[in-house]
Structure 1
Amino acid sequence: MSETPGRVRQSPTEPRNDEWVSGPLMFGGLALELSGTLSILLGITGIAQDTLFHVTRYTYRFDLTAWGWLHVVIGVALMAAGLAVLLGKSWGRGAGVALGAVSLVTQFMFIPYYPLWSIFVMTLDLLAIWTLTRGSASYRA
């Protein structure tokens, strides 16, 4: 392999800046992206049509517009963390795990309003957390 003048050769273990992650980290990043997208869609629904969801008695009962904004904010943060994981940023895995946990708790609290949706997103969050917390950071193609 020839080296161009003025360019420092990267070691074989050092990730290149122009590569996306692969393997388990790609799965974790994509799971965060999907969870974030679904949270944003749920949040927009809660903001636009706050009479769509109805629960009579519930301890964590908030105004559905507040729930909607909460889901939108968490969804945007999940998508940012997912993109950071996919781009191999050093802070992406930690942010993904933390935001996945926040999303998991939020979805758990939202189960009485929309159970199937919440359980599906909770599953994505759990898979993302599990994937991001296992093994080495060197999952590159």
Structure 2
Amino acid sequence: MASNVNDPRAGSAASTNSGHPFRSGWTVLAAVLMIFGGAMAIFQGIAAIAKDDLIVKTPNYAFQFSVNGWGWVHLILGIVIVLAGCALFTGAVWARAVGVGLAGLSAIANFLWLPYYPFWAVILIAIDIFIIWALCAGSLREKV
């Protein structure tokens, strides 16, 4: 059967990848970054729970919480983020929405973690912002 020469999508990625869950590399990148960021949050949580010497408690910070409590928050959030990152590989729309929400929660948690380990927190906030961007930009580009 001959293809329509006037079809602007003939031979494009949109016509050849119609059944593929990843039409853009942004979703794959977001999934990989979620797994990486979640793993880093897990390590961050383990370090805080173990009362490692890497974590320094800054006095007189507006959001002072127990370091052990923060460790559990980061550990649980990291596990959920890794699972959501793995779910993104299925191409499910709910995984994209959950990924945006979890990346936002992770950015907030790392903002509150700034006085304990500022360099690490800023790196993870940047990764979370990039994850949100990649998931939102990927969904917009897939509709075109």
Aligned-partner Cα distance in 1 for 2:88–2:141:
12
Partner residue of 2:38 out of 33, 36, 39: 36
Normalization by structure 2: what TM-score?
A: 0.79
Aligned-residue offset at 1:138: 7.8
Q: Match of 1:58, SS?
A: coil
Aligned Cα root-mean-square deviation (Å):
2.2
Aligned to 1:48: 50
Letter in 1 for 2:43: L
The structure 1 segments of at least 4 consecutive aligned residues displaced by more than 3 Å after TM superposition are 135-139
Change (3 A) 1:34 1:123: same
Q: Which has the higher contact order (CA 8 A, sep 6+)?
A: 1
Aligned to 1:81: 84
Aligned-residue offset at 1:58: 1.0
Instruction: Output aligned runs, 1:1-141, within 5 Å.
Output: 13-15=18-20, 23-49=25-51, 52-136=55-139
Aligned-partner Cα distance in 2 for 1:108–1:12:
39
Uncovered stretches (5+) of structure 1, i.e. residues with no partner: 1-10
Identity of aligned residues (%): 30
Q: Deviations over 1:43-79 (max 9, x none)?
A: 0000011663221111111110000000001101110
Aligned-partner Cα distance in 2 for 1:116–1:86:
30
Uncovered stretches (5+) of structure 2, i.e. residues with no partner: 1-15
Task: Give the count of matched residue pairs.
Answer: 126
Kept after mapping to 2: 8 A contact 1:36/1:79: yes
Change (3 A) 1:38 1:12: closer
Q: Deviations over 1:17-52 (max 9, x none)?
A: xxx776111101111111101100000000011663
